[in-house]
Amino acid sequence: MQDPYGDDQTPLPYQAPTQPAPTPYQDAPGQVHPPPYMPPEAPRRPAGGARTGAIIALTLLLALIFGVGLFAGWQFGRTSNTGTNTSALQTGTAPAATVPPLTGNNLQAVREAVIAKVKPSVVQVNVTLQGNSGIGSGVIVDRRGYIVTNNHVVNGAQSIEVVLYDGTRLQAQLVGTDPADDLAVLKITPPSKGLTVATLGDSSKLQVGQEVLAIGNPLGITQTVTNGIISALGRSVSEGQGGATIANAIQTDAPINPGNSGGALVDLQGNLVGIPTLSAIDPEFNTPANGVGFAIPSNRVAFVVPQIVASGSVTHTGRAYLGVRVTDVDANLAARNNLSVDHGALIVSVVSNGPAASAGLQAGDVIVQLDNKPVNDSQSLTDILVNENPGSTVAVKVYRGNQQLTINVKLGELPSGS
Tell me: the pLDDT tens digits for 295-317?
A: 999 999 999 999 999 999 998 88
> Using 50, 70 and 90 to split pLDDT, how confident is the model at 335?
very high
* Lowest mean pLDDT segment, chosen from 18-22, 231-235, 241-245, 327-331: 18-22
Quote the pLDDT of residue 321. 84
Catalytic residue among 121, 261, 298, 380: 261
* 270 or 384, greater pLDDT: 270
pLDDT at 231: 97
Q: What pLDDT score does 159 carry?
A: 96
- Catalytic choice (142, 178, 181, 182): 182
Bigger pLDDT: 54 or 373? 373
Which residue did the predictor score with more confidence, 394 or 75?
A: 394
358 a catalytic residue: no
Phi-psi region of 167 (alpha: psi -120 to 50; beta: other; left: phi over 0): left
pLDDT of the residue at 111: 94
Q: What does the pLDDT look like over 96-143, one tens digit per residue?
A: 778 988 888 999 999 999 999 999 999 999 999 988 889 999 999 999
* 330 is a catalytic site residue: no
Share of the chain above pLDDT 70, in %: 78
d(CA 396, CA 374): 10
Encoded amino acid at 94, one letter: A
Best-predicted range by mean pLDDT among 38-42, 76-80, 189-193, 280-284? 189-193
Is the CB of residue 281 less than 8 Å from the CB of residue 15? yes
pLDDT one-digit tens code per residue, 23-66: 332 222 223 333 333 333 233 333 344 444 443 344 334 333 33
pTM: 0.74
* pLDDT over 80 at 86, yes or no: no
Per-residue confidence (pLDDT) for residue 73, from 0 to 100: 37
* Rounded distance between C-alpha atoms, residue 81 and residue 390, angstroms: 10
Q: What is the rounded distance in angstroms from the CA atom of residue 288 to the CA atom of residue 252?
A: 14
Residue of 152, 267, 328, 343 with catalytic role? 152
Question: For position 408, what pLDDT does the model report?
Answer: 97
What band does 85 get if pLDDT is binned at 50, 70 and 90? low
Cα(164)–Cα(151) distance, integer angstroms: 19
Q: Give residue 25's pLDDT.
A: 28
Per-residue pLDDT, averaged over 64-77, amounts to 37
Confirm whether 343 is a catalytic residue.
no
pLDDT of residue 199 exceeding 50, the answer is yes
> In this prediction, what percent of the chain has a pLDDT beyond 90?
57
Higher pLDDT, 22 or 88: 88
Work out the mean pLDDT of the chain and round it to a whole number.
Answer: 80
pLDDT bracket for residue 236 (50, 70, 90)? confident
